[in-house]
Chain A
């Protein structure tokens, strides 16, 4: 358990980054404005103190803040591990999406079916395990420590691997090696790796016009990076509401391409009255001609206004979200700016902003706007018209960042006023995004702290370890030419990389990390150039804060102004609390030592120390609020991620059942039908199905709904009969035969509606329901 010891000034500047300084080691403090290295080291020291005492179970503090912090920390761990699971599941689902499509089309050979099946069998949670012997555990522990703490190796590797290899490498890097997404040290190391890869790309791209355009390891890293918790929750908080309210307006048509408007106008006129003058208009005219048509203009003009309003709304929330933008995203913007300046000294702000925009808007914001479903921002697929509107919004935002050439789509020039009105604002915003502090000093500090901790560890799968081992080995010639380098030594000791194990035998290993070469903690004060006085001062401050957090806030010793001697005394003489007594005694010692060193002065009630302790407590008070509100936000994120997980899992289950089904059918041909028992009928009321979203539209009058119910039966695996009944009548009103293939095919084609005359079912929801209800032992 740790206490946050922060300098009072933090409280006001904590919002420089959304990455709140709440992690175990408080290293984010260096983001604030200018401050000397020395000072920042001193602040880091206090973090170090807290972190060291964190290993000491004696010092556990159990106040509300501590509890809130624990809740938050647990939540962050859960988000980290859940987002990794989702990342893996998504890959599985994507793979199976394409396979199943082939299967539905009867175009898959039996061997391939088997392969898919084996892929599916173990797409479930991987079990825990351990290496067979200590030696391997140690060596891999050392290797992983080295990779984690010296990001240059992985950065180098990222440039060497093929695009085919990069995905699994990035998965290991982003979700495992640096998978602790809310832990500053890991975040910083990951960003350091980013920087190295970015620099390489800038150095090796001859013209700026092709910078950040191609899909490269860097762009892939960006994609993967934005998929981590902080990026996801930012997109959700900034975009989700706006997108959702747009999507509800299914029929809002904001097409402004004059040709399309013209054609739609004729179509509608023909439908209404084929004799009307509009219906008789000539077809096949040019865009220019269409644009000149007064009727077309009449339709388009208000749409331009609407689009501008909508885009302005998006822009506003994005700009307002400046402070909420994840630190890492902003830091990447900053790197782009400084690399551009270095490589192209003549580059003006416009060029810099274009390049920042090609990351921030092109690769982060806009993909989420045009395909919100794949970013978990909405549930369903947007209808055509809202989809088009969202595409326009994204194009408008992108045009703000780039120099748009209306040569492509001349009608987009009509939106120029939007560009003119916002261009400067957006450029300013993008430059502001870059205004975050670097973290190098704290990173150095963090690495010391990491070494001092006994519990540095990693949850990593066997296959991740072996794949990493294999990649390093493959590129040995480039990565560790010097055979005396630490990496070379470990690699030679480890020998040849083992092959990947079958998915079934894959295990999660809890690997303790350590370094056999570095033990920095002893000479820390020397390494950090910190005086003994400062060390005493920090320790004293930390002890007083701990004592005060333990005693009740309304006790007389806690009254302000604090009288430090009295507090130490009260602690030292407290009854039945040995830990408190020890702390009290230590506090007294420190006070007199500091007095001797003339750091504090008894005659002014140790005011220097006292003020800092008071400010710290005040800050901790407000910290609690921050912790609470962040917890609420992250709970939301966690819920989204979990929902998405449930969706992915049910998708996999459906595929699993389907595949099983296909295979048992083809087996059945030879082995004769096995015992195939009819499952069901299961009864559902109209109300139930409506609540679960299975019924997405109903034509049944309200007052009759209570009398309607449905029976679901599965006579054969993969075959279902749904019947609709009216209470009291013997015969059903309607019966529908369904094959799982059909449902899957509809889903594949994004066809969401299953028509049952009286009601309309939602295809994915039906699949989920069948899945839940009719899970036969193996398959359906």
Chain B
């Protein structure tokens, strides 16, 4: 896939894909970036991708970090989260436990980014496995609303909603970027989740707490006498 990229210095965003082992993070990412379906047994330790996409007519470079869902690698999370600007939280609709784990991940992101409005998209993957569904769409949707994040049901296998989740995340990041605030933003969140027809997320003015961030960096003064 050869692309010749634009002349403009376009924006670059760091996306981190998180979720427990085997939910299909790598498959989603590979579908999005390379248009390929990967079948093999290949748990991830850490993979990085770079791609360029057009979002609403604007070119955006994405650096996507596909992380390990294997819990033994938790200690790496801190670093990812620090580097990330937008997060895909992926679970599999065939496993309730995989959804349960997202709550901790989200908390951790918010703590590390110190920002409750950090761009997040929640993805229920493996939507093609309808007969194995273990998570109600409505239930997942409710959680996503509490988190004030759009929810999509996707399938890496059938390539359903794959582009949509990434593009939604890009929109969120672009909007923040446009308003020039990396720290404080309110209006940035406006879900456009049309996942499987129903996932429309209400306007993004949920229970947002304004964060109180004190500025103290470099406050300790060093006087040379």
Contact = CB atoms under 8 A, between A and B. Distances in A.
Q: A and B from one assembly? A: yes
Contacts of A354: 41
Contacts of B47: 408-409
A493 interface: no
A735 B40 contact: no
Counting chain A CB atoms within 10 Å of each CB, the highest count among B72, B73, B221 belongs to B72
B198 interface: no
Contact of A736 (B61, B112, B213, B222): B222
A188 to B, nearest CB: 24
Interface string A490-508: 0000000000000000000
Contact of A739 (B10, B211, B219, B222): B219
Given A214-B97, A259-B50, A286-B2, A405 B72 contact: no
B204 interface: no
Given A107-B212, A391-B45, A398-B45, A215 B114 contact: no
Nearest to A290: B50
A284 B70 contact: no
A362 B43 contact: yes
A756 B38 contact: no
Contacts of A273: none
A689 to B, nearest CB: 17
A364 B42 CA distance: 16
A742 B21 CA distance: 36
A258 to B, nearest CB: 10
- Report the interface size class on chain A: 35 or more
Contacts of B76: 370-371
Contacts of A215: 20-21, 69-71, 97, 101
B111 A102 contact: yes
Interface string B163-177: 000000000000000
B212 A106 contact: yes
Interface string B7-32: 00110000000001111001001100
B216 A742 contact: yes
B22 A105 contact: no
Interface string A723-760: 00000000111111111011001000110000111000
A395 B101 contact: no
A284 B111 contact: no
Contacts of B114: 105
Contacts of B26: 408
29 contacts: A98-B111, A101-B111, A105-B114, A105-B213, A213-B43, A213-B70, A214-B20, A214-B98, A216-B97, A257-B48, A283-B9, A286-B2, A286-B3, A286-B5, A354-B41, A363-B72, A366-B73, A370-B75, A371-B76, A373-B75, A408-B49, A731-B225, A732-B225, A734-B223, A734-B225, A735-B225, A737-B221, A749-B82, A757-B222
A-B pairs, 9 with minimum CB distance:
A213-B22, A371-B75, A367-B72, A374-B75, A215-B71, A284-B5, A213-B21, A403-B40, A402-B42
Given A213-B69, A745-B216, 11 more contacts: A105-B213, A213-B22, A213-B43, A222-B72, A284-B61, A286-B3, A287-B50, A367-B75, A408-B42, A731-B225, A739-B220
Interface of B: 1-3, 5-6, 9-10, 20-23, 26, 29-30, 34, 36, 38-43, 45-50, 52, 61, 66, 69-73, 75-76, 78, 82, 95, 97-98, 100-101, 108, 111-112, 114, 211-214, 216, 219-225
Interface of A: 98, 101-102, 105-107, 163, 208-210, 213-216, 219-220, 222-223, 257, 259, 283-289, 354, 358, 362-364, 366-367, 370-371, 373-374, 391, 394-395, 398, 402-405, 407-409, 731-739, 741-742, 745, 749-750, 755-757
